[in-house]
Amino acid sequence: MKSRRYQVDDRIVYRKTKNSVNPGQNARLIAPATNGDGYSYCVDKFWIVASVFPDGTLLAKTRRGKLHRLNSNDPNLRHATFLETFFDGSRFPSLSIASAVANS
């Protein structure tokens, strides 16, 4: 599979799988657990690229300042669409914060 091109300050969406008894309002693809005690679901996380490494991994920054190192070929990772950027823009971290991490 070909590596996707990411640059610092790119807005990205990471689809994270979770398990819980009570899925939140942003839960998608909700399915009951096999034993019936809870649910399995996906949540879209709105992050920003803080740094890109030569080995094909990138450092993603969350709104609350956490950093995640991800492989650029991860099927759960994609660029944010224009509509996500427009309607969910407040769910992304600020661009200046990501730039500060990349420069340090």
What does the pLDDT read at residue 96? 57
Q: What is the mean pLDDT of each run of 10 residues along the chain (104 residues)?
A: 72 89 87 85 89 90 88 88 61 57 51
What does the pLDDT read at residue 93? 67
- The b/e string for 2-14 (b: 16+ C-beta within 10 A; e otherwise) is eeeebebebbbbb
What does the pLDDT read at residue 5? 87
What does the pLDDT read at residue 98? 46
User: 71 has which bridge partners?
Assistant: 57
What does the pLDDT read at residue 1? 41
Give the domain ranges of the chain: 11-98
